[in-house]
Amino acid sequence: MLGDFVYCNPTRLYFGKNSLDGLNRELPKYGKNVLLVYGGGSIKKNGIYDKVVKILKDNGKNIYEDAGVMPNPTVEKLYEGIERAKKAQADLILAVGGGSVCDYAKAVSVSVFCKEDPWDKYYLRFEDVDNEIIPVGCVLTMVGTGSEMNGGSVITNPKTKLKIGKVFGDNVFPKFSVLNPEFTFTLPKYQMVAGIYDIMQHILEQYFSGTDDNTSDYIMEGLMKSLLKSAEVAVKNPLDYEARSNIMWTATWALNTLVAMGKSTDWEVHMLGQAVGAYTNATHGMTLAAVALPYYRYIMNYGIEKFRRFAINVWGIDEKGKTDSEIANEGLSAMEEWMKGLGLVMNLKDLGATEDMIEGIADSTLIMDGGYKVLDRTEIVNILKESL
């Protein structure tokens, strides 16, 4: 039975080849000072930086920069960003980049006026925001996280080996996001396929929960089938606009909170992957790919009906003359072949994890209770060993 829920998503999206023009509609709504947040400088090489800066100047904005946001933003970088935003007296934070840049911008936005250590308040105690927030806008250059239309923000603390995601309320969602699929064309293939798997895993985290006949599950099956087709096209031809635009749109819908409505959701694969990332600094989507199949093969029989449905409805597995377990296993095997075809990293060793890290990674893994099996620490260790 579909449970009670409240749904709100306040983010305005501008999608398509001319979507950057949306900045001209949005910028007049905010004050003069804009903190421009971006990563390692690729936006300067591909021309996106110049386009954004011109629009900012044309709108009479004072531009302050916060560059160098890394793929796994650190708490030290967050503290630096807080000081930059304060010095700029920022009226708007404009994130230009992928999910990490968007995540980081949201973390800065809620932390500038926070009277406590934001790492302790938000990422260790998971408390709500009770102070002023600087609004955030996003110009997306990589797809996967869905951060352009949600309140999620993942920050890493290298000293304590913790990589933690905080999901803020809709008041922290980006006020607007610009999604031009062409801005993703220059992304290296490794990053593209990592993003594709991140999308898939976002859907799976929500799909593999609950036993009711939920509308969200039907939506998610459609999203997954679209992703499978578009991913195969994009791997062969990364400049295929239709495929890249479908992937970008699917990424947004995978994690803009809609399909989570009425679902308990799992997220254990993300907890495992994030813990691995805290130890290895590996690309997020690849850490998920390395741990997903060992996890799902372990919990499959606890949610066998949904895994059977997944095999039939998403992968087209023929059910005739087979047990539920056989059907479910064939579905996971089909997913494994698709993952290998994309070129994903399928084990933790190739991401830099070693046997002597396993105990520490297990200690850093948060245990979730929304899926088909609540793991204990021994089970987490075993799954991590299988993932090596």
Please write the tens of the pLDDT for every residue from 239-273.
999 999 999 999 999 999 999 999 999 999 999 99
For residue 273, what pLDDT is reported? Answer: 97
**Predicted confidence (pLDDT) per residue in 166-202, tens digit:** 999 999 999 999 999 999 999 999 999 999 999 999 9
In whole angstroms, what is the distance from residue 339 CA to residue 336 CA? Answer: 5
**Predicted confidence (pLDDT) per residue in 2-47, tens digit:** 778 899 999 999 999 999 999 999 999 999 999 999 998 899 999 9
**Predicted confidence (pLDDT) per residue in 313-336, tens digit:** 999 999 999 999 999 999 999 999
**Predicted confidence (pLDDT) per residue in 48-107, tens digit:** 999 999 999 999 999 999 999 999 999 999 999 999 999 999 999 999 999 999 999 999
In whole angstroms, what is the distance from residue 19 CA to residue 14 CA? Answer: 5
Mind listing the domains of the chain with CATH numbers? 12-183 (3.40.50.1970), 189-387 (1.20.1090.10)
pLDDT band at 274, cuts 50/70/90?
Answer: very high
The full 3-state SS of 147-179, as one line of letters, equals HHHCCEEEEEECCCCEEEEEECCCCCCCCEEEE
Contact 32, 61 (CB under 8 A): yes
For residue 235, what pLDDT is reported? Answer: 97
For residue 252, what pLDDT is reported? Answer: 98
For residue 3, what pLDDT is reported? Answer: 74
For residue 41, what pLDDT is reported? Answer: 85
Residue keyed to tokens 């990422």? 123
